[in-house]
Structure 1
Amino acid sequence: MLLVAGCSGSDSAGSGDASASAPSSSSGKSSAPSVAPAKYKSLPNPCQAFSKGTIKKMLPKVKDASGDRGTSSDNAAHGTCSWTSSDENGVDGTQFRWLDIGYQRYDSDPGVGSGEQRATDFYSKQVSEAKDTKGAKKLSAVKTSGTGDEATAITYDVKKEGNDFKNTTVVARDSNIVVTINYNGAGLAGADAPKGADLLKQVQAAAKEAVASATKPKG
């Protein structure tokens, strides 16, 4: 990205009265194109994106309800958090759940585009990456209404270390913010596999919370 504003070069030397009397024909050409300002200026703590009730429902035996926050060089632009749950039931096996969230916010930049357009591009990229998950089977993508300006839920099955995992990824965008949520579960050591429809319903509801957390008016 290169912005050129007021590059005078050798013309500035000895301009004198000539510059004062010359018509200002270049004033409109040298300025960068204007873009609409970004709607949202900050992000919430990603580990506080969901209510305590949602965490308890999605992760019955959560290891740490406060979540594990990822590092970020700019918390106003990017933030992540993850949780795990392992419900051990002896001979009946173990129910495993994983949940993570990622926030991405874009500022408007005349050299690149508006914050909303940049977020729209990233949203499309996230949806495409989820659809291209290696080893994914029974993949399906559905629009999720009432979640920001646009949202898509991608569901699929994948085998990891001999276990069948049900996965759901929801990508949502509200203006210049994109929220990506991954939720997966498996029945380990002989436990029944979770129902994909149940996981989808839970993560779609959680996505609404996450978007609301990022877009609610700041006090």
Structure 2
Amino acid sequence: MHRSAPRLSRILACAAVPVMLVAAGCSSDAEGDKDAKSAKPTPSVSAEPTVKPAAFSKLPEPCESVKKKTVDSLVPEAKDKSGTADKSNDVSARGGCAWNGLDSKGVDGSQYRWLSVSFMRYDSDPSRGPGDKLAEEYYAKQVDAAKATEGAKKVTAKPASGVGDEATAVTYDLRKTDADFKYATVVTRTENVVATVVYNGAGYQGAKSPKAADLLKDAQKAAKEAADSVAAANK
């Protein structure tokens, strides 16, 4: 009897092991189910709003945006044929250039001409919108500003075909420096860039003022070159 008792104890201990393992396994599964039920789904992170990238990332050199031969034709006696560039703290977003000169005709008087081109470029912004839409807003403001020029008379505005994605030509008369000036302003938008060309002239010392139709034709030519130079600068 003394020898069989220890053997019986060992058999009973071994038989109990599977029961303990099964119990432990069941306990583990129950806790896992409990954790799974109590776990909360992780909220998804909403993506930031996206906008279409702007088509153009830079501007042309303003004083080179209008061809030299065009400048020579529109401003025959320009003081500085290379033009006077506007000061800008961000040449990739805005810039401009101007030419002016007085062409003496002797006894027939003198002809004054002034030509300017300015650019404004917009980047796309998630909070403000696509660059081309922002340019559309600025384009409309430029047209309205030209039509509302103080002292302007005989104001007309009409679409200018063949210039950029959209363009408007504004013409008017303006009396200043004891002369009757004729003005032609062409505002054009190409994708996310707006170009504004202003061309005006007057006759002095008995010379007649330039014809409005001729002035407008020349302004549209300069505006088309300015608009085309935007795409060329981004190739």
Larger radius of gyration: 2
Q: Quick one: which of 144, 153, 164 aligns to 1:148?
A: 164
Matched, 1:32 2:64: no
TM-superposed CA distance for 1:90, in Å, is 2.9
Which TM-score applies when normalising by structure 2? 0.81
Asked if the contact 1:137/1:158 (under 8 Å) is kept, the reply is yes
Structure 1 segments unaligned to the other structure (5+ residues): 1-20
- The percent of aligned pairs where both chains have the same amino acid is 49
Aligned runs of 1:80-119 on 2, under 5 Å?
80-119=96-135
Asked if the contact 1:46/1:81 (under 8 Å) is kept, the reply is yes
CA pair 171-22 structure 1, distance change in 2 beyond 3 A: farther
Which residue in the other structure is 2:41 paired with? 23
TM-superposed CA distance for 1:91, in Å, is 2.9
Aligned runs of 1:59-208 on 2, under 5 Å?
59-208=75-224
Greater fraction of residues in helix: 2
TM-superposed CA distance for 1:205, in Å, is 1.1
TM-superposed CA distance for 1:190, in Å, is 1.1
Asked if the contact 1:32/1:111 (under 8 Å) is kept, the reply is no
TM-superposed CA distance for 1:192, in Å, is 0.9
The more displaced of 101-110 and 87-96 is 87-96
Which residue in the other structure is 1:7 paired with? none
Structure 2 segments unaligned to the other structure (5+ residues): 1-38
TM-superposed CA distance for 1:103, in Å, is 0.5
2:173 is paired with a residue whose SS is strand
Aligned partner letter, 1:55? V
Asked if the contact 1:98/1:184 (under 8 Å) is kept, the reply is yes
| RMSD between aligned residues | 1.3
- Alignment: residue pair count: 197
Which residue in the other structure is 1:42 paired with? 58
1:14-61: per-residue Cα shift (whole Å, max 9, x none)? xxxxxxx64343512xx4321100000000110001111101110111
Asked if the contact 2:160/2:169 (under 8 Å) is kept, the reply is yes
Q: Quick one: which of 207, 213, 217 aligns to 2:229?
A: 213
TM-superposed CA distance for 1:85, in Å, is 1.6
CA–CA distance in structure 2, aligned partners of residues 59 and 41 of structure 1: 31
Asked if the contact 1:171/1:181 (under 8 Å) is kept, the reply is yes
Aligned partner letter, 1:90? G
Aligned partner letter, 1:99? L
List 4+ stretches of structure 1 deviating above 6 A.
none
Which residue in the other structure is 2:71 paired with? 55
CA–CA distance in structure 1, aligned partners of residues 231 and 122 of structure 2: 14
CA–CA distance in structure 1, aligned partners of residues 74 and 58 of structure 2: 27
